Structure 1
Amino acid sequence: MTLGRSLGATLALAFGATMLAVFALVGTYVYTGLDRQVRTQDDLDIVLAARHTRRLAGELDSLDAVRAHADRLTSQVLGNTALSMAVVDERGNVLARHNVGRTEREDLPPAASGTASPAPPALPDAELFPPHATPVPAAERITVDRIATWRADGGTSVRGVLAGAMLRDGTQIRIAIARDMSDRAELLDGYRNKLKLAGGLGALCAMLLSYWLIRTALAPLREIVANTGRITVDKLDARLDAARAPRELRALVDAQNAMLGRLQQAFGHLSQFSADLAHDLRTPLNNMRGATEVALARPRSPGEYQALLESNLEEYDRLARMIENVLFLARAEHPTFVTRQRAFDVHDELTRIAEYFEGLADEAGSTLRVEGHGQLTADVELFRRAVGNLLANALRYTPAGGVIALSVDETADAVRVVVENPGEPIDPALLPRIFDRFVRGDPARSGGVPGGTAGLGLAIVRSVMELHGGTARVESDAAGTRFILIFVRNAAS
């Protein structure tokens, strides 16, 4: 299966990418929230320690008192190995400290606690606070906004505050409290890496799971494709089982079954059309061949040969008409077929058609009558052909002395043309197929009258009406047979 062309793989990749983006957004939100929370807590510890130390220093009388009470001053940061603290005088001499590495300066006194082992170093003295830092004035409240961030010489991130304090004797001292952020950076880096790993694995699992779900969901569609592939020309009666398809695919299955039904019907019509066409072509050819063989069986007079040629010419004409009708039907079904439409008076056209068939009507002992009035926009040649086929059909099935009526009436929406003739009614079983190709009426109704269009005349009528966006229908009962053409206004293109 090619990933670039697989619907399941494409959807799975899209879903995986979406989940990765969602995990990234959620992870970023959680990570920044944790970073903000940790930083806020650390800043609060720094501020509280600075305030507490300033308050205690304000209760002392002198620098000596500060040295003597160093443990008390550093009590706020005792136990917090991450915080470093130093109290220095204006000359930079350390008065008290916690977690501050010793330097080689001789003026730095030992730790006020008097213990033999010094406090574990956290920050060197030079890195406890940058030299360019401006302390918070003794009279100003220490807030989080005054906390600064800088980089130590080793690249370690440090946050802290430098605040001034005043002893009772008016002496100014400075309090420096800082926190080495390396452990926080390590914590956040580990948390970030875990979020990345969890997000990547989650997106991968989501992609694989979605691919499996999509493949499972598409299984009925693959079954439909497989079942459709097993349907061949000789199995067009097979249908897909809509009951087994999911509800979302039932419309597809129904449409597929409907298409199979249309294909079956089309193949059936094509097979029947081929058989009927072969039969109708074979009949005149056999007639000509039989007559020619008889004529060649012995010498004939010129008159007999002339009669043979005339008989063959009639068969040629019959073949030519049949081929012309078949070609017209084929062209009419093509979507590029163009009609040349114009407005005309229907009564006048019906009169012209009746005059054209007047000689045949006289020979058949029938009378033609034109009734009604109406205006129509259509292809005049196709109109004449359709009505002419109906009139020829009526003459063939009308008994001697009968009256064939050609009438027209119009409404605001349509124009209706009716060709009505008396005679035996059409077999009701034949009515639904009367406009199909090569369908012929009962020869008994025509009284054995030869001729016709080899069962294509009414098929041509239907094609003409479809080209104009109209319909053709038939009614037949004991009173007679009526072929009705309905031209819908503004329907034809």
Structure 2
Amino acid sequence: MKNQLRHLSLTTRLSIAFSIICCTVFLGIGLLSYHNMQKLLAKQRDQNLTARVERIEIFLQDQESFQILIQHPRLYENMLGKEDNLLILRNPQHTLIEINPLKVHIPAMAKSKTITFLNNQSEFATTRLAYKTVRFNHQDYQLIAGTQLDEAQSTLDQYLWKLILYSLFGIVIASLLGRWVGLYLLRSLNHLIEQTHRINGTQPHQRIEAKSTNIEVEKLSSAMNSMLEKIQVNYDQLARFSEDIAHELRTPLNNLMGQTQIMLTQPRSQQELEQLLYSHLEEYERLSKMIDNMLFIARSEHSDYILEKENIDLSNLILELVDYFEFLAEDKQMKFVLHLEKGVQIYANAELLKRALSNLIVNAIDYGLENQDIVISTKAIAEYAHIEILTKNIFIDKHHLNHIFERFYQIDSSRNFKAKTGGLGLSIVRSIMTLHHGEANAYNNSQGIVFSLKIKSQA
């Protein structure tokens, strides 16, 4: 059943649901109306019997009129005008009046000073009776009035058939109206579906233009356009990434091929061949580093990447890195200037944070000027720790700053520089900060370019 419903349109489903609701509502109203009609006819029947008993009591008070009724019972039968009505006045010794044309069985009745109602039989009753014990000529008599149940049942049957007919007619009309309303309300949704089908890969900037008075359709259209925007951004990034990686891989491969072709043009000495192998090894290491970095970025961007964190003393971690990279800085006559705030604790993965800071320090050494300082400072603000690495007298144009953390992005002036991280160093820094729910930024100040990291100081 569920599989069959899946193949039905939303309009058809709504129509079916609306029809089921209409059937339920009409059925409920019909049953309630039939029950109320049944109670109303029963109440009216008992009221008529009560009025009949009361009229006979009035006759009992008028001796002359009552004597005429006793002598001529057919008069009362004619007054009733129906052969199925019943009237009996009796006691164990005498029966003064007995109008019972259908010979209805009268059950035994106890004395009752008030009007009491009962059916002539406990099962399959045919007559409704009302009786009362009255006083006449110093004797107690049972005054019994009755009417057939067939008349009320006939009225109920007619009412039931009309009720069924009107309910079916109402269900059909309501179902047709429900389908028309469904088609009208879902017209804009169908238009949205048509526009969605028209979107293809040949027009990446195409968007959905579905104007509708339906708020839900407007929200859906806006959400789909927002999704298309994100897809477009990711598509552009992927296209740019493909171009960049092709460029980055082509350079070392061209170097390998060119050097090999030159060496094969004529016989070479053993020393020249060794130099070629060392040169090739350097290119291989660069390619290996690039691939490792790409794999790390891909894993870090995966949602189920597990990150183990611990409390780290930031000053000790930076001092450890400075000791390690100090010899590289000395080769360019550079030195580290530290402004470290004491007691700054961070909650992070130590190895990944070392890698991010190492990339920034290596970047500062590689691109910094000789005899210039690299200033590293830390400070705690609220629940975050801020780390800044300043490379003096090096400035980056503003239009580069917004892209500097993108994969393989390099400034034109340094495009031919063989980066130790394969052109992915700053992108790795941003990925590590993203894993820690932190931030990585770059900006120029009056002294030079500053790379800033922001990371939580507590769990």
TM-score calculated relative to the size of structure 1: 0.83
| Larger Rg, first or second structure (1 or 2) | 1
**Alpha-carbon spacing, 1:209–1:92, altered in 2? closer, same or farther (3 Å):** farther
Q: Distance in 2 between matches of 1:300 and 1:157?
A: 128
Superposed CA offset, 1:100-154 (max 9, x none): 43xxxxxxxxxxxxxxxxxxxxx23xx1x51x332656xx34x2xx12212599x
For residues 69 and 158 of structure 1, what CA distance do their matches in structure 2 show?
A: 24
Other-structure match for 2:398: 428
Tell me which residue corresponds to 2:58: 55
Superposition map of 1:1-150 within 5 A: 4-5=5-6, 6=8, 7-60=10-63, 67-68=70-71, 70=73, 77-79=79-81, 83-87=85-89, 90=92, 95=97, 97=99, 100-101=100-101, 123-124=102-103, 127=104, 129-130=105-106, 132-134=107-109, 136=111, 140-141=113-114, 143=115, 146-150=116-120
Separation in structure 2 between the aligned mates of residue 421 and residue 60 of structure 1, nearest angstrom: 132
The structural deviation recorded for 1:210 is 2.2
- Describe the superposition over 1:245-286 as per-residue Cα deviations: whole angstroms up to 9, x where unpaired: 622222222221111111111111111111111111111111
C-alpha contact (below 8 Å) 1:63/1:95 kept by paired residues: no
- Quote the Cα distance in structure 1 between the aligned partners of 2:425 and 2:144: 112
Task: Tell me, in whole angstroms, the C-alpha distance in 2 between the residues paired with 1:42 and 1:344.
Answer: 94
What displacement does 1:428 show? 1.1
Distance 2:234 2:67 in 1: 114
Task: Give me the whole-angstrom Cα distance separating, in 2, the residues matched to 1:340 and 1:64.
Answer: 113
Q: Percent identity?
A: 28
Q: Secondary structure at the match of 2:86?
A: strand
**1:467 partnered with 2:435:** yes
Shift of 1:310: 1.3
Where does 1:404-443 land on structure 2 (aligned, <5 Å)? 404-443=374-413
Between 395-404 and 62-71, the greater mean CA deviation after superposition: 62-71
- Indicate if the aligned counterparts of 2:119 and 2:125 stay in contact, CA closer than 8 A: no
Judge conservation of contact 1:50–1:175 (CA < 8 Å) in 2.
yes
Q: Alignment RMSD, CA only?
A: 2.9
In the TM superposition, residue 401 of structure 1 has moved relative to its aligned partner by: 1.3
Change (3 A) 1:217 1:311: same
Unaligned runs of 5+ in 1: 102-122
Q: How does 1:35-434 map to 2 (within 5 A)?
A: 35-60=38-63, 67-68=70-71, 70=73, 77-79=79-81, 83-87=85-89, 90=92, 95=97, 97=99, 100-101=100-101, 123-124=102-103, 127=104, 129-130=105-106, 132-134=107-109, 136=111, 140-141=113-114, 143=115, 146-151=116-121, 157-168=126-137, 170=138, 174-241=142-209, 243-244=211-212, 246-373=214-341, 374-434=344-404
The offset of 1:369, in angstroms, is 2.0
Cα distance in 2 for partners of 1:57, 1:14 equals: 65
Residue by residue, what CA displacement relative to the aligned partner does 1:302-327 show, whole Å, maximum 9, x if unpaired? 11111111111111111111111111
Aligned in 2, Cα 1:62/1:409: closer, same or farther, shift over 3 Å? closer
1:266 to 1:172, Cα distance in 2 relative to 1, 3 A = closer
C-alpha distance in structure 1 between counterparts of 2:98 and 2:247, whole Å:
123
Which amino acid in the other structure matches residue 401 of structure 2? L
Deviation, 1:62, is 12
- Identify the range of structure 1 (480-489 vs 364-373) with the bigger mean alpha-carbon deviation: 364-373
- Amino acid in structure 1 at the alignment position of 2:358: G
Q: Return closer, same or farther for 1:43/1:299 CA change in 2, 3 Å cut-off.
A: same
Q: CA deviation at 1:86?
A: 4.2
Q: Note if contact 1:62-1:167 (Cα within 8 Å) is conserved in structure 2.
A: no
Q: Secondary structure at the match of 2:130?
A: strand
Instruction: Point out where structure 2 has 5 or more consecutive residues left out of the alignment.
Output: none
Structure 1 residues 174, 312: closer, same or farther in 2, change over 3 A?
Answer: closer
Please say if residues 242 and 254 of structure 1, whose CA atoms lie closer than 8 Å, have aligned partners that are also in contact: no
> Using the alignment, how far apart are the partners of 1:20 and 1:244 within structure 2?
32
- Cα displacement (A) at 1:417: 0.8
Q: Which amino acid aligns with 2:85?
A: L
In 2: Cα distance, 1:379 partner to 1:397 partner: 27
Tell me if the contact between 1:12 and 1:211 (Cα under 8 Å) persists in the aligned partners.
Answer: yes
Please identify, of 481-490 and 202-211, the stretch whose mean Cα deviation from structure 2 is larger: 202-211
Q: Measured at CA, do residues 294 and 32 of structure 1 come closer, stay the same or move farther in structure 2, by a change above 3 Å? A: same
CA offset at residue 433 of structure 1?
Answer: 0.9
Q: Any idea what the Cα deviations from partners look like across 1:147-203, whole Å, max 9, x if unmatched?
A: 2212599x66211234455544x4665543211121210110121222233234423
Partner secondary structure for residue 328 of structure 2: helix
Query: How many residues are aligned here?
Result: 454
The whole-number CA distance in structure 1 between the counterparts of 2:89 and 2:199 is: 94
Q: 1:299 to 1:64 in 2, by over 3 A?
A: closer
For 2:67 and 2:386, the matched residues in 1 are separated by 125
Which one is further off, 231-240 or 465-474? Answer: 231-240
- Give the match's secondary structure for 2:220: helix
Partner in structure 2 of residue 114 of structure 1: none
1:458 Cα shift?
0.6
- Flag the 1:176–1:370 CA change in 2: closer, same or farther, 3 A: same
Distance 2:303 2:249 in 1: 28
Whether the 8 Å contact between 1:58 and 1:165 is mirrored in structure 2 is: no
SS at structure 2 position matched to 1:190:
helix
